[in-house]
Amino acid sequence: MKRYILLEDTFLEQLREARKEPSNLLNAVSYYGRKKDKEHADRCFGLIFDIDDVDDVTLNRFLYGCQDEHRVYPTPNFLVVSRSGRGVHLYYIFDEPVRLYPKIKVQLKSLKYGMTKWLWNQYTSNNEKVQYQSYDQSFMIAGTKENMTVWCLRDECYKLEELFSMAQMEFNKEELWIESQYTLEEAKKKFPQWYEKVIVNGEHEKGHWKCKRDLYDWWIRKMLHPVDGATYGHRYWCIMMLVIYAVKCGIPYEEVKKQAYELVSELNSRKPDQPFTVDDVNSALECYDVQFATFPIDDISRLSGISIEKNKRNGLKQKQHLYLARRRKEDMKAIDLPMKAPEGRPTQEQTVREWRRFHPNGKKADCIRETGLSKPTVYKWWI
Where does residue 297 rank: exposed (0-12), middle (13-18), buried (19+ CB within 10 A)?
exposed
Contacts of residue 246, Cβ cutoff 8 Å, sequence gap at least 6:
216, 253, 255, 256, 288
- Give residue-wise pLDDT tens across range 323-364: 666 766 666 566 555 544 555 556 788 788 878 877 877 888
- pLDDT of the residue at 318: 65
Q: Are residues 47 and 109 in the same domain?
A: yes
What mean pLDDT is predicted for residues 128-140?
82
Q: Does residue 111 contact residue 168 with C-beta atoms inside 8 Å?
A: no
What mean pLDDT is predicted for residues 71-92?
86
- pLDDT of the residue at 76: 95
- 201 domain residue, yes or no: no
Q: Are residues 359 and 222 in the same domain?
A: no
What mean pLDDT is predicted for residues 35-42?
80
3-state SS assignment for residue 148 = strand
- pLDDT of the residue at 331: 62
What mean pLDDT is predicted for residues 174-200?
73
CA–CA distance, 120 with 126 (Å, rounded to integer) = 9
Q: Are residues 67 and 104 in the same domain?
A: yes
- Give residue-wise pLDDT tens across range 272-284: 887 888 888 888 8
Element (H, E) at 375: helix 375-381
- 70 domain residue, yes or no: yes
- Give residue-wise pLDDT tens across range 142-172: 766 556 788 899 999 999 999 988 888 777 7
Reported as a pLDDT band with limits 50, 70 and 90, residue 253 is: very high
* Of the residues 175, 192, 224, the one at which a domain ends: 175
Q: Are residues 39 and 49 in the same domain?
A: yes
- pLDDT of the residue at 60: 93
- 282 domain residue, yes or no: yes
Rounded to 10 deg, the angle between the 348-358 and 364-371 helix axes is 120
CA–CA distance, 153 with 149 (Å, rounded to integer) = 13
- pLDDT of the residue at 268: 87
User: Which residue(s) pair with 30 in the sheet?
Assistant: 43
Number of structural domains, the chain? 4
Q: Are residues 69 and 97 in the same domain?
A: yes
Amino acid identity at 77: N
Q: Are residues 256 and 289 in the same domain?
A: yes
CB atoms within 10 A of CB 219: 22
Q: Are residues 339 and 354 in the same domain?
A: no
- pTM of the full predicted structure? 0.59
The residue range of the domain holding 331 is 312-345
